[in-house]
Structure 1
Amino acid sequence: MRKHWTIVTGLLVIGSVWLTACSDGKSGQSSVDSDKPAEQAKSYANEPAELVIYGAPGDPPEVWNERFGDQLQKKFPNYKFTYIQRSGTNTIENMIASGAQVDLIYDSVGNAVNSVVATGSQLDLSELVKKHNVDMSRFEPATVEAVKQFGGLYGFPVHSGGLVLYYNKAIFDKFGVGYPKDGMTWDEAIELGNKLTRNDNGTQYIGLGQSYIHVLSMNAYSLPFVDKATEKAAINSDKYKKIVDTLIMAPAKAIGYKEQIATLKRLFNNNDFMKERNIAMYVMNFGLQGQKDFESLDWDMAALPVFKDNPGMGTQPYPNFLFISNASKYKDQAMEVLKYVTSDETQLALSKKGYIPVLKNESIKNAFAQDSNVKNKNVVKAVFTNKFASPIARTKYDGKLNSPLQTNLIKAILGEIDLNTALRQTEEEVNKAIEAEKKK
């Protein structure tokens, strides 16, 4: 069989490629549940076409092929696929400006507002869903809600993500402290962290650290960074203050914590946990374990701690999607591809590899990571113990918070300003940045 995958990594090649989209139909299709069989939707599997997929996260071809590409080629032998990796000037904006056609955009919930909505590439799939008899009730509701918050059903979630509590077993063993458990509250996690925030022979250990942007933007109360309606910062409120006070300020009260922040002149990041290895527990998006530095780390994970007044509610989902571009000439074929990558067959294969599935099917969840190098870790309970919180409505201005929020939180941790002032100053700085961006 002739292999049709084409990998494009530069815009010079794009100009000579007519970018379009395609698909198949039968086994990737999900019929609407009813007492009698739904009418068979027309299959577009055997209509030759070209399908160009833009990889907005910048994943290299081998990663895309391992996830989807190889399976898609087997499923759709009549399609010619072209995968375009984001790199350098090879951006979706430049592609659209050059007149190159894109059929499918692969991107995360955190960036799709920029790659899809801001470029005007969105297409509401509601009519195609009806036409193809797709049963959307099969999906985890929060993952579908995550795409709809962009303004419509512009794509399908294909694998998900979410916050978990990683921990370095060696630090717990060193100090004779029991490991974290699934189902902890934040108060319990903070108390546990306090036992491990200590200085030992000149090394300052931190009991509980976090990627501050992730824990705040994926909070269990579904509070946004920026209000989508007003396009103004939304973090200077009593509710947000409670979240920040618990997740950021409370752990920092342990002796030695703020001194470490003063030394670093920043909040904690992935490298502190993975490379420096002086953080006992670290909250971050599932998938961090794929980094090379984890290979020699004695680690495991637990479910994200919960707020006492919001029991059982964990992280917001952080799915990746496949979006169909409104410029595609092969929308029906592209929908066939979406159906296939969200079929039970494909989702089971992804789940076994350690990609969080987007379907409610319990057998698919229970197969999670069975064929991965983390199958002996506590991944199933860490990922699926809690319910997903409703996803926030993301805006193209969310990133404006990153720098001022970190700066002001550091000042609050060090006692230079109080938390109310930190949030107010952040709000003011972000609103100014948003207004400046609008005037460009």
Structure 2
Amino acid sequence: MAFDFATPVARRHPSGGRPPDGPSDWPSDWPSQKWHRYGDEVLPMWVADMDFVSPPAVLEALHARVDHGVFGYGLVPDSLRETLCAWSERHYGWRIEPDWQLWLPGVVPALHLASLALTEPGDGVLTVTPIYPPFLRVAERTGRTPQQAAMAEPAAPGEPWRLDLAALEAAITPRTRLLLWCHPHNPTGRVWTRDELAGLAELVARHDLFVVSDELHCDLLLDQGARHVPLAAAFPELASRTLTLWAPSKTFNLAGLTTACAVVPDPALRRRFAAVAKGLTPDGNVLGLVAAEAAYAEGEPWRQALLEVLRGHRRSLSERVARWPGVAMSAPESTYLAWLDLRGAPSLKGEASPRQALLQCAGVALSDGADFGTPGFARLNFGTTAIQLEAALGRLDAVLCG
């Protein structure tokens, strides 16, 4: 089946009007964080939100549910639980059970719920930097102590970021109780090696830590033949202390439907987490649950086609970065996100925020590395059409090649 990843979809309508090439019945506006935050003249390459139409199977399932016309409080259907079990066994080689699943309105709420459920006020919540910005706010928002350890930067341009186990252990104190882990890693795109994960597992067990493993990008491994292995599956000894977070949101472009799943094998841990979630999270999003089941049941052909597109975009971006003096990038092994080191760019010398300078001078919005705990970097979202990617790269050329 052919899928269209080439035709731009109008997501921002200048002056509230219809796009010139859009259908006659196109609505005047659908507000989008990505496309409306910075105004009509800026090309948004920041938030992790792709510009592709979601899989046809998902759209068909949503149309059928909308046609029913009643949107009362829903339940997580057994068929969805079984579908996720089948997906996990087929794609990760991990046999999970339906009752291990706790469906939630997103991964970010799950991070906060885990902190409340598994730690006490003042306990340490640890993560590595750079990291997806909400990780850095969990401890403060839940009355815990934030703790951070820096990853090892690439030894040379183009080489990968590495997990620095010595730095991670040095950041642990007697009050540390929870590690917020990202696997694969956002923003660097790293797929952790077995040795890195083995070192992490030993450290976690020795210091008696709980782990929340955010595996949101695990279905977007870009290297041919790569296969994701969940942390709790790779190291069964960690299963009793690990919450694994999955969602169809990034893979199938369903972020606005706010549906995710915590997979918790240990019954006691599951009860603790579920008890805290009561009253703090709403019941399941009835449309999000429908979309999730359709994505996991029928979305594989679309996912495979998407991966081919993203591989091509990664290649184009790598070639472009090589032409930008002083700019470095370790090609992401997963995700549709690129982590750019802009500290050496001559055209940005003296700029306090390279991301802000590119926004003003190039009209391209990136995510600021400072928000990830690493100033001088920026994250670029290449999950868009080739036309839109080329337009943004052309604008960046004008500044970074100068």
Instruction: Give the alignment's TM-score, normalised by structure 2.
Output: 0.26
Looking at CA atoms only, which structure, 1 or 2, has the larger radius of gyration? 1
TM-score (norm 1): 0.24
